[in-house]
Structure 1
């Protein structure tokens, strides 16, 4: 099947879940096709709100999907078809809302676009068209974007690869049962623990836990304000976790204040998109740097960093020795002398620490976690986990 056949099938499939429309633009921004009955008006809105320009600018430099938000809460997702490194076509799905938006919320959002020269008639037509825009959870839109990317490229990505806001921006936050709230708390603790330890290999757990939390469960008519609240609250939590991990309060609070001010200065949801992940990554790297053991030689520290960054792989002492230019015999003796652990034990303990984070912060099965950390079997993983922690993986998860 060629790309157009793939996208035709994809379009039909997502239509089963509601009126989610598909759009195709060429590299100069001309609309080639759409199955949306309001294609003429909504393609104009897509351009007026600045989303088309941002999509083309992003697509000319990147290959991963992107979400494109507006101050009124209306959102699209785009994926890109390329010829080598050159943008060929941009495919878009949407628009959708992440929650029901009131007329007052739309009016407040439109205030951010008061510089635009739009007529009263255009605004009234916008109100009518927005009544037909479906509500869709952001994680569902993200998964559709990943499916679209696969249809265009044949490549699999994780949710964290999408250039979108780290926290779920705005969802329909109905009251959740206590068990789900407990999962949110566990996911939050897992993510904060990776900040405390300066765990540079956080993306695996981040990707798996992104769909659990709905953000701050307070309804707001202002979608932009809701997203800012999510970013500010999470930044405050990450800042304190970084201090607990060893970052000085002066540096941590100054950095947190900077990201909070950037969030407050944002004029659209699209402006907020990179902030969450940038903030989280920045804090993790600063904690990692301050926790680097000054008593380790440069070569052994390089070995330690390699292990921490490759816990999803089978790590061999010979590969680590080659990394630093030592013989395996010399490297293993030097490593144990400086760290107090053999290479094998260090790898084992590091993988179990990562497993503890995944058990607490994600819904992945024990089997999936064992495979993700390159344990040969689920039983072997469970045996090693119990050997290190004194508990089975399920006992640890449920305590």
Structure 2
């Protein structure tokens, strides 16, 4: 598109979101800017890893990239392809912007760690207050608009590459590492993975760093981190199709396990089991979308009351159809009776909890509202071929 359309869009970003625009050649020469402080922010951008990562990215791909530096500044970069030999490729940048909330104390500490002169630090800190804070969905929308304006091409949000200067190498990630929390890039990708029912989300979340949220107690720190994880899991599961009450009940139950844990290792094990349990629920919800409304109502009822004693007469009263009719329709579509389905779902929850905590079989039986531990063990063995204790050892 013509330059005047690009300038109009850049001015719109500045006036509506206070997002500054930059245009550079592929080798980093500044062509255009409407920045708050051109020299300071351009130097900051060029000195950080973001600029080199963006240039390297565009040697391999022409898709946009959103990069976050270790101070917490985020930079949007869009590659403008060369349409003919008369025009060299250009890189259009939006930024700096702030997406994740960082206190002034944290930002000052990060800036000091970079080894700038005291005068430069103070100048940078004074300008930080003018850097706009933008919601991540707004940043992504602006990226898509800028790409369309410069390349006349519509792209989806998941085509945008996300990169963080503080990212931990994927092969080095250990669940529960104190670095996992704190960056919007990892959080958003993790959240999306839960919504989609993907097991890969914990790798996406393992970026950034976490502050002290345990008062110096490693066990309390680990518990608080996993409780935060439960919030992401439950909200993502709800968006993925799990009933809100069912997701929150599952979260509450795992939080009980977290609080009862006695070691950091046990807390981390619970976190991994909790993540798997929520992903399984999302996948089940998506698989059930093809069933009739009546069957989905039954499934939702079981999910919502999974930790209670589920009586068929209560479910029938809730659904509002005759028991014989419900039973026939449910078995015809699901291939098993309602009682069998209820037991199956309780066993699935039990499997997750057996993997993730040292809760006793008696206590687990009580939490899932079985009449007694012997009946629970019999149902579990019928479904898995193992007793609960054998399953835990395996």
Q: Which bracket does the TM-score occupy, shorter chain normalised?
A: 0.3 to 0.5
**TM-score, scaled relative to structure 2:** 0.44
**Higher-Rg member (1/2):** 2
Higher relative contact order (CA 8 A, sep 6+): 1
